[in-house]
Chain A
Amino acid sequence: MKFKQHSVLPGFNLSLGYSMLYLSLIVLLPLAALISKSLGLSWAQFWATVSEPRVVATYQVTFGASLLAALINLFVGLLIAWVLVRYPFPGKRFIDALVDLPFALPTAVAGIALATLYAPNGLLGEPLEKLGIKIAFTPAGIVLALTFITLPFVVRTVQPVLEDMERELEEAASSLGATRWQIFSQVILPTIFPALLTGFTLAFARAIGEFGSVIFIAGNMPFKSEITPLMIISKLEQYDYLGATAIAVVMLLVSFALLLLINGLQWWMAKRLGRRK
């Protein structure tokens, strides 16, 4: 692969240089500072901090709830995007704008609103409680908050791809005798799959780091509904800066590994689909 590709528009060096500088200053520098701070711990101390049973339990809660929330949004987000693209209906623009609201709302506000709504004395919490379902102050509350926060990601990544999809493809498939399910699974799904996966990844990554909304609805019971960011905060409360950075580094590494994995999967899919054509 050639490093420099000739283009009609000039400015490759300048724009690449600027991008790299910007990324270094905004992203790499703070991450490097984080990692270098954690080097103040010996390997044994580092391992003892991050493998403590209570902390390990929070990894399960954080990554499990994030995965579940991203999966829920994978399906519901696709559904919403589909409805918004394919069907005209009154109030569509309004619904469309509503999807972005979780982005705009301060997450703490979202958390408090959800906790108020789903608390045992809340508007929804009370009838649910009678049915024996508890949401607020249980792990289910964490999934709920994360689902709310990450809703826009899948919708907003899939929507433009669906919009650009040529209907003729579906019509052609139909006239060639494909069933409805075949049209969906063989024609539509492969086209939107990369976007779907991107949306899923973004939602998942966002959910892992979420603190503000979860803290108000989780109940924060040790080994049950504590999230990893809370562990970082409670380390800081003890002025244990190194312990806090150690856990942060673990979160960073795991998140990065997962993102790399999903991106790799996407690349592999694209290549496979490309070859098939």
Chain B
Amino acid sequence: MTSLRHWAVALALGSAAALSHADTTLLNVSYDVMRDFYKDYNPAFSKYYEAKFKDKVIIQQSHGGSSKQARSVIDGLEADVVTMNMATDIDAIVEKGKQINAGWDKKFPNEAAPFSSLQVLIVRKGNPKGIKDWADLTKPGIQVVVPNPKTSGNGRYTFLAAWGAALKQNGGNEAKAREFTQALFANVPVLDAGGRAATTTFMQRQIGDVLVTFENEAEMIAREFGRGNFEVIYPSVSIDADLPVAVVDKVVDKKGSRKAATEYLSYLWSPEGQEIAAQNYLRPRNAAVAAKYAKQFPAIKLFGVADFGGLKAAQKKFFDDGAIYDQIAADIAKKK
């Protein structure tokens, strides 16, 4: 309803735009679990923008699976900005749709990722199986719920986290890492298509002993299912998941909304934006904000996707058809 009204307003004002300047409308195409963050962030940004430029900005949101959202933009959805959970999704828009110019990750600090998350282990109340680290997930009889790495960025981060943790423990021995990851995925009883569905399987259907998911998703689970129903376990080492953003060049140049779109994303790095991120359990970049919320973000050892030569290389090595994940899946099926 509101979005309909927004459209109507945008249309009505659009016709007057030739004469005077009108409100700017921005469409932010984002992924699923960012809903809660932008619900808080958008009003804050509108207020800031109006005060600074004496101009109103209306922000519309679209949410869905990260890659699915990127595909909509490639297929012509007129997003002003995209806010994704994997750089490969934005790279796909650069390559396939060409709506975003190459070098988008240099236009903002931190490789255009205003905040990050990491993979944590969520266990049942009281941690009955005594799970402490990645190695516990490979033990026989433990059931691990993970979203499908083929269809979900969340699942891909989990795979990389397990692989990377095993590499660190075995001094970089790839064969050992593969064995370890295979043992972990052999313990997966259900492969859901996305992160939210995996949460449902674990919390609602009560399947599995461990759920591996983003740290900020753990906070969503607490809000949805109550804090007493589960425990968050921080493994000894995890993967740093950068959550990148980009201005969609082709669309903003056509609409003339580049200034507002750039402001919108820049503001994510402002102390206010960073604070809202921290409140939503996204790890902030701003040192002062990070210090203020340090209690809710335990410091653990992290490695980045750079260790795999970047996400693009990781995608090719692990997740493309016939690559390591597929081979592992085939081996697991053969053994069963």
Contacts and interface: CB of A to CB of B under 8 A. Distances in A.
A168 interface: no
A115 B201 CA distance: 10
B18 interface: no
B329 interface: yes
Interface stretch (A4-12, A229-237, A265-273): A229-237
Contacts of B197: 216
A137 B321 contact: no
A53 B329 CA distance: 11
A243 interface: yes
B191 interface: yes
Interface in B184-205: 188-193, 197, 204-205
B151, B152, B315, B326, most chain A CB atoms within 10 A: B151
Given A121-B205, A234-B151, A239-B71, A137 B330 contact: no
Interface string B63-81: 0010110010010000000
A233 B319 CA distance: 14
Interface in B37-69: 65, 67-68
B333 interface: yes
B35 interface: no
Nearest to A219: B190
B330 A119 contact: no
Interface residues of B, number: 33
B205 A120 contact: yes
B29 to A, nearest CB: 16
B25 interface: no
A259 B311 CA distance: 44
Contacts of B330: 53-54, 222-223
B245 to A, nearest CB: 19
A57 B336 CA distance: 15
A215 B205 CA distance: 15
B307 interface: no
Contacts of B107: none
B206 A137 contact: no
A169 interface: no
Contacts of B92: 239
Contacts of B329: 54, 222-223
A224 B333 contact: yes
A202 to B, nearest CB: 27
Given A216-B197, A243-B321, A236 B204 contact: no
Nearest to A220: B191
A49 to B, nearest CB: 8
Contacts of B135: none
Given A119-B205, A237-B67, A54 B192 contact: no
A233 B333 contact: no
A164 interface: no
B333 A220 contact: no
A230 B150 CA distance: 10
Given A49-B321, A119-B207, A219-B189, 4 more contacts: A121-B205, A221-B333, A237-B67, A239-B96
8 contacts: A54-B329, A115-B205, A215-B193, A221-B191, A221-B333, A222-B333, A234-B148, A236-B67
The 7 A-B pairs at the shortest CB distance, nearest first, are namely A223-B333, A222-B329, A234-B150, A119-B205, A121-B206, A220-B191, A219-B190
